[in-house]
Amino acid sequence: MTDTRNFFTDCIMTWNRVKNSRTMPWKGEKDPYRIWLSEIILQQTRVEQGWPYYERFIAAYPTVSHLAAAADEEVFRLWQGLGYYARCKNMLAAARTIAGAHKGRFPQTYEGIAALKGVGAYTAAAIASFAFNLPHAVLDGNVYRVLARYFGIDTPTDTTAGKKLFTQLAGEVLHLQQPGTYNQAIMDFGAVVCKPQQPLCQSCPLAARCEAFLKGLTDLVPVKSKKLVIRKRYFNYLLLRRNGQLFIRKRTEKDIWENLHEFVLIETPAPAADETVLQSPLFQRLMGRHAYKIAAPAVEIKQQLTHQTIHARFLQLSVPAGFKTPEGYLQVTEAQLKNYAFPKIIVDYLQR
C-alpha cells in the first residue's frame, strides 16, 4: 500500500511539473490575503466565472485592510452575480477581524486561519499550504474524485465515515516537503485529467494502478449517499412606478439573498397568473384603495440554485402620485438602481 501511495504522489508531482499548463492569476501566489480572496470567490463558483471577480476585487481592495474598511453595500455590489451572498457577508466579517483583532496581519497558522468567519477545513488547508507551506491536505470535489477513483473507494463522500476516510487518505498521500505545490497539482489534475465526465483515462499517468480504471468503475465513483432535492419557488416581482420612480427593499430574512435588494415580492406556492397575484391579500393591503395600471407585459426568468429553482415573473405597474411608500421600502430612480446590490435574477431582468 505504501508503494501504491508513493506512486500516486510521485505521479501527481511529475504530471504537475511536466504536463500541467493550467493557468489562473492566483496560482503560485504567496500573499495569504489574495489566496483567501480567491478561495472564497471560488467556493461554489466555476473558475471561469470567478476569475474576473477576483481581478476586480484585487483592483478595488488591494489589501485586507482596504476590504475591511469598505462599505457593505459597495462590496455587495461588486460581488453581484456570484451568488451565495453569505460568502460575501462572512468575507467582510473575516476581513474586519483580521484588520481589528489581528492588526491587519493575516493569521499564519492553520488554526488561526480556520477560526476566521466563513473559512472551513478545505479553505484553511489551501491558505496554510499555499501561503505558508504548512503540511495540510486540501479536500475538495476534485480531490475526492481523484482519490476515490485511484484507490477504488466506494464509501460515500457525504457520510461521516467517508469524510474521515478521505481526510486520512488525503493526508497520507500529501507531499510533505511541498504541500502547497502538491495541493494545487492534485486539484488541477482532477479538473483537467480526472474530470467528472469523460476523464482522460487513456493518457492518465495513474491509469496503470487506478482501481476504477482497471475495474471499469470510473463512472461509479465517487459515491454520494444523499440525492439532492431541488425545491421550486415562484417569485412574483412587482415594479411599482410612481412619477418615474421605483420601490425597492433590502431582504433581511434568513433566506436566500439576505442583504440584497428587490422589488415588491409576492411569493406563491405555484405559478400564478397576473390576476391571481394582483388579487392576493398582500397586494390588496399594499394598494389599499389606490388604482393601478399594468404598464408592460410580464417577463419570466428562471434561475437555478444548488437546492432551489427560482421561477421569477416581473410585472410593471403604474401607481398614482398619492400612493404612499410602503413601510421598509425606498423610492429610487432607475439611474439609482446601479447603487444597490440585487440578486442575479433581478440583474438579468434589468439588463433586458
In this prediction, residue 352 carries a pLDDT of 84
- Closest by alpha carbon to 326, among 267, 285, 286? 286
Output Rg (C-alpha) for the chain, integer angstroms.
25
Length of the chain: 352
In this prediction, residue 84 carries a pLDDT of 83
Query: Looking at 29, 39, 253, 327, which residue is catalytic?
Result: 39
Mean predicted confidence (pLDDT) in 118-122: 95
Condensed to tens digits (0 to 9), the pLDDT of residues 153-212 reads 999 999 999 999 999 999 999 999 999 999 999 999 999 999 999 999 999 999 999 999
Residue 75: band (very low, low, confident or very high) from pLDDT cuts 50, 70, 90: very high
- Looking only at the bridges linking them, the beta strands covering 330-333 and 261-262 are unpaired
In this prediction, residue 1 carries a pLDDT of 62
- Looking only at the bridges linking them, the beta strands covering 231-242 and 308-318 are parallel
Task: Tell whether the model's pLDDT for residue 306 goes beyond 90.
Answer: no
In this prediction, residue 63 carries a pLDDT of 96
Cα–Cα distance measured from residue 341 to residue 79, given in angstroms and rounded to the nearest whole number: 8
Condensed to tens digits (0 to 9), the pLDDT of residues 184-201 reads 999 999 999 999 999 999
Angle at 24 between CA 137 and CA 58, to 5 degrees: 100
* pLDDT above 90 as % of the chain: 86
Mean predicted confidence (pLDDT) in 52-63: 97
Our answer to whether residue 300 is catalytic in this structure is no
Cα–Cα distance measured from residue 252 to residue 233, given in angstroms and rounded to the nearest whole number: 18
Cα–Cα distance measured from residue 236 to residue 316, given in angstroms and rounded to the nearest whole number: 11
> How is residue 158 written as a grid cell?
457525504
> How is residue 184 written as a grid cell?
494545487
Task: Tell whether the model's pLDDT for residue 123 goes beyond 90.
Answer: yes
- H helices, E strands: number in the chain: 15, 7
